[in-house]
Amino acid sequence: MQRIPILKMGPYLLVSIQVDMDDRTAMALQDDLMEQIVRHRARGVLIDISALDVVDSFIGRMLADTAAMARVLDADTVVVGMQPSVAITLVELGLALTGVRSALNIERGMDLLRSRIEGPGIADGHHEE
């Protein structure tokens, strides 16, 4: 089974999904993410899905669940780089991912996370172990 790498950058976790995900990979990613959020006290998670041409209802639900779980662990989640066809499919499936925030690309996504997380007085790297 493939494992999707999770990169840590300051108080953020970066995930770039470059392979077609099957359900087990997705569940493994969810487990790993939660573990890493707790271990690194991460405040934000950025998931890049620009390489995904197909997102089925299971992956869609996984993304929404992941965002909700991360929320419980006090981390914001941003999904970036969704393809137009994927967006249309998800909407047609009735999965608007209301709890998940989106951005067009990684840059915008990081801006979004920073604006949410970095209040005054919190310096970069504050959350490192």
The binder of another protein chosen from 9, 38, 54, 96 (CB under 8 A): 96
> Hey, which residues between 13 and 72 contact another protein (CB under 8 A)?
none
Smallest gap, in angstroms, from Cβ of residue 84 to another protein? 3
CB 2 within 8 A of CB 19: yes
From 30, 97, 114, 118, residue interacting with another protein (rule: CB under 8 A): 97
Confirm or reject binding of residue 109 to another protein (CB under 8 A): yes
Between CA 71 and CA 99 the distance in angstroms is: 9
- Beta bridge partners of residue 101, listed in sequence order: 78
- CB–CB of 95/61 below 8 Å? yes
Exactly one of 33, 62, 64, 82 binds another protein (CB under 8 A); that residue is 82
Stretch that binds another protein, among 10-18, 31-39, 83-91, 114-122 (CB under 8 A): 83-91
**Helices of type H across the chain:** 23-40, 57-72, 84-92, 106-117
Cα(37)–Cα(60) distance, rounded to whole angstroms?
20
The secondary structure of residue 99, as a DSSP letter, is: T
Out of 14, 15, 42, 103, the only residue in the binding site for another protein (CB under 8 A) is: 103
If binding is defined by CB under 8 A, does position 93 make contact with another protein? Answer: no
- Binding site residues, another protein, CB under 8 A: 79-80, 82, 84, 86-88, 90-92, 96-97, 102-105, 108-109
